[in-house]
Amino acid sequence: MANQKGGVGKTTTTVNIAAGLAQSGLRVLVIDNDPQGNASTALGLEHRAGTPSIYEVLVEDEPLENTVQACPTVPGLYGVPATIDLSGAEIELVSLVSRETRLRRALDTYLARREERGEERIDYVLVDCPPSLGLLTVNAFVVGREVLIPIQCEYYALEGLSQLLKTIELIKAHLNPQLRVSTILLTMYDGRTNLAQQVATEVRDHFPDQTLRTTVPRSVRISEAPSHAQTVMTYDPGSTGSLAYLEAARELAERAPQRAEQG
């Protein structure tokens, strides 16, 4: 989940799509790769300083399995928390060997060990990125097959997008040939304003195949849920925001075979 702009709905989209997929019976792992730790908060994960987290995985070679926690409110949903330590990682990573591929190695090892032990397969791994194109985001681009870009339906929505796409092309060329922008989700959509409609139309014109049919409406319930250490999917399952994310998760899962063919 990437977009170097802050506040566009990356974290909200990560945790709610993850919860939607898990509620539909899939096994989902969320990696909180943002020092702000907002995804950890929304999933109800312990992330006080000193908690084994993505920082230890990236910087100290801690096995990922020592950091995975179960999300207390959604069966089948797991998370790797981010603590305040991660705020130093961007600089600490610079001097480490294979600094771009550390997350990839950790995840590959974790998934292989699970398979060896005969544990159930994880269907989706979602990585929540910080609002920058630094090494933390690069690590996510190296581990992923698909990039989902949330776009806020506001003026300036498309600004910075070309830089993001250029970075993704560079990673694809040098570090991860599988990578591509598979999905764009329009967030914080207010259909009453002409501006939101214009932005949505513009995004769909640019990315007809990637943009999900579902748009996520602006909803107070979505923004309230994290303060209850929950996703909106359990905080208010019947709300418009919850239903939109469930529908977005369904679309994502339904399009998966088609995406696999293309890739």
Q: How near is the Cβ of 205 to ligand ADP at its closest, in Å?
A: 22
Q: Which is nearer to ligand ADP, 101 or 240 (CB)?
A: 240
216 near ligand ADP, judged by CB under 6 A: yes
127-166 footprint of ligand ADP as x/- string (CB under 6 A): ----x-----------------------------------
Residues in 3-62 at the binding interface with ligand ADP, rule: CB under 6 A: 6-12, 38
For residue 168, give the H/E element and its range.
Answer: helix 161-174
222 contributes a contact to ligand ADP by CB under 6 A:
yes
CB-CB contact of 28 with 21 (8 Å): yes
104 binds Mg ion (CB under 5 A): no
DSSP state of 241: H
Q: How far is the CB of 57 from ligand ADP (least distance, A)?
A: 20
* 11 is a site residue for Mg ion (CB under 5 A): yes
| Strand, coil or helix: 249 | helix
Q: Which residues contact 173 (CB under 8 A, 6 or more apart)?
A: none
The sign of the CA dihedral 231, 234, 238, 243 is positive
Return left, alpha or beta for 45; rule: phi > 0 is left, psi -120 to 50 is alpha, else beta: beta
The partner residues of 151 in beta bridges, in order of sequence, read 186
Name which of 12 and 137 has its Cβ closer to ligand ADP. Answer: 12
Q: Which is nearer to ligand ADP, 77 or 216 (CB)?
A: 216
Q: Which residues pair with 186 in a beta bridge?
A: 151, 215
* Residue in 23, 69, 183, 187 binding ligand ADP, rule: CB under 6 A: 187
Distance (Å, whole) CA 20 – CA 198: 28
Question: What residue ranges bind ligand ADP (CB under 6 A)?
Answer: 6-12, 38, 131, 187-188, 216, 218-219, 222-223, 241
